[in-house]
Structure 1
Amino acid sequence: MDKIYSIPKSEPVSFKKILDEFVTELKKTEFPENDQDVQRLMGMERKNTVYEKVKSSTSLELLDSPDDVRVAPYVPGISEFKRKTTKQNLTIDARLNSVQKLIKEKEASYGSPFIKTQDSFKQVHTPVNPADHNLEPFSDVVISVRFYRPKTDTPLKRRTYPTFSEEFKCLGSNFLSELRDKISCVCNKKRFFELSENPKVENPEKLCDPGFFFIENTFYNDMRNPANADYSEVIREWSRKKTKCYQKIPFQTRRMEKTRFIDLEVSLGFPQLYQHHGNCEHLFTFSYVELLSIHTCLVRELYPLLKSVNAYNAKFCHMCGKREYVYVVKNSKRQLHDPAYLCSVCFISFHYVNGKKVDEFNAYRLVSYNEKLDDHECFIVEHLEVFDDIDESVEEEEEGPGPSKIKKEI
């Protein structure tokens, strides 16, 4: 990893050791629980008058002023203020050419699915009722795990950079398998087969779901399902026979469903690997470690807790730009992109005429046939069979490949 991403690797740290050190430091510190404890720690046990004077002079209420600007506390995903448009925020003459140009650019960008944005926070409702809290403060560590899409080589031979995907908060007592079950990926619980000849056929059920975390020269395999294969076996075999530089590395294997985060020793900030679905790779880093406190979520069932997600994770149709893609088209001479991501409407209307495949291409569907269909898509799907029985001798209005008659009737 350090050779591929040019990131220096720091000395691995033990999460269990960090927790023990936190607890040891806390035991050395005495936290006052009432005014008597504060007065005693200040050495004013018999100076009640002086203590009351100091207390009143340092009150936080003295910091308030009627003329202060109101500051709203920032909570990711939650805001009590309604966002204003560019026009509402204008305090200068709106007739200026520069202002008119700004308004035009802003209005054109609103709603565009192709605009890249910063990390958007997914709102997670944390229970505020103390009765729901089942974790004791300072009893565990909270570990931030950030996932990235790895960099790849594009057809133009330009190397892309890792892109942030999502971030989780994990307890030291969480198993690695609990985190794996919450990782978002289009490949989760799906098998993809080429279906361009019959776009209505369903993808077969996925009976096994192997995968592993590669952390500090150890493969943590998911063996909850006996049918899961050990993906790391072929990698370890290759390292033993084909490469001299890796023969001395003591690669180990463990089961992720039996390994807790507290048992790990990792290099903070250094990229690790999660791989599943054959060759679907996700990079991740252990970015931050803190002690569980009253300011963090104290509900065990919510962990691993999704903290943030990249808003650009969702891809939209390359043709209409309005709906999420359902089909992936490859090796098509009629598409500008390879692979091309298309919704059901654009895929069926552009690649099929009279219910028959136009030109050569490979197609894969990422969801069930009737999943994620709106009214418009349902109409096209239902009428696709109507054109399957059309007599081929009937002359078409337009020759050559092009949008199907389904689109014309709509």
Structure 2
Amino acid sequence: MDTMGMSDLQISLVVIGGAVVVGVALFNWVQQRRFRRSAEEAFGHKHEDVLLEPDVSIEEGGRIEPQLGKEVLQEFQTEMSVGIAEQGIDAGEAAEFPQADATPKVAVPILAEQKAIEAGGAGGIDYIVNIQSDALIAPSGLTAVLLRKFDFGKPVHWLGQRDSGASWEEITVETNEGGGGYTKLKGCLQMVDRSGPVSEVNLSEFFDMVKNFSTHMNAIADLPDIRHAHAQAVALDQFCAEVDVMVSINIISKDGGAFTGTKIRALAEASGLKLETEGAFSYRDESGAVLFSLNNFDSAPFLPDNMRTFTTHGVTFLLDVPRVKNGERVFDQMMHLAGIFSTTLGGMLVDDNRISLTDSGIVKIKQHLGSMQDMMRARNILAGGEISLRLFA
């Protein structure tokens, strides 16, 4: 009987141990799935990698280790003399790294220029309805309309004017509660974002809602033609797809070895990048806008709790072209840090096909980036501006 009892105990322990192992594996799988899902949502709509385009091809002749030029390397060494021993570095040792200037060396565009471009419109980014009433439209009448802002597949925002001489102000559920009503309203349904153009069905539902609301309020509504608006949305979406470029610069080990999480984190933080909840390090400007990010070359995200034991075969710098002002200058800054990382980690710069990047290849990438932002400017859409951030969200 004792032998049988011991056998049952052992079996129970084995079952419990197996359940724990399965639980840990399931947790890690869920974490990776969550990260991949968030990455796909952010970058899932027709992203174009300029490193894979024929017109920015890398010089043929095998994998040549990238040479960024003596002057550039000297600049790297002058601004950040980062020396890392072959053994791993604890994340707490980041203080030993000379701190890179976290303030980006990127010229801020003239505010007046940005306002002028943004004020010119973005070729029909919004389907705009105008409502006018002789009497004040009471806040109570607006509530039902405001609560439907998420019902049409794209963002909706409302503007109101209290009288003919007043300025337009944005209306939300919160601001509407304490307001005194409006004589004029503008309803703006965004027609394009990274998930594609607004559907004709959603346009029709928005049209019907506004028409019914205006009738109920004894107001006059100016409602643009739905088919024409949908055609505009499709055309704008096609243009956005052409300039929706994501520049990626990969750094992989020369000898097939692994980079440690402690080295990556120490170097990233010394360079002004901060690890964020999305599983990547971000480099932001003074206003908090992301200029570029540092991601794991493999699928797993960077997580604060596992950086001490984390290893990877490479890292990737990403620049979201339509969401960054002065893209060519930001690209130079990103390449500056990529060179530092490559030298310090003992890696090499490659494209997504693991082909080494050369000076001429990098120049072509930069030129392609600049041409994309020039195309946007020609359409009165300033890269990194308010309209662009809405379109490429």
Q: TM-score, normalised by structure 2?
A: 0.22
Higher alpha-carbon Rg:
1
Pick 1 or 2: higher relative contact order, CA cutoff 8 A, min separation 6: 2
TM-score norm. by structure 1 comes to 0.21
Higher helix fraction (1 or 2): 2
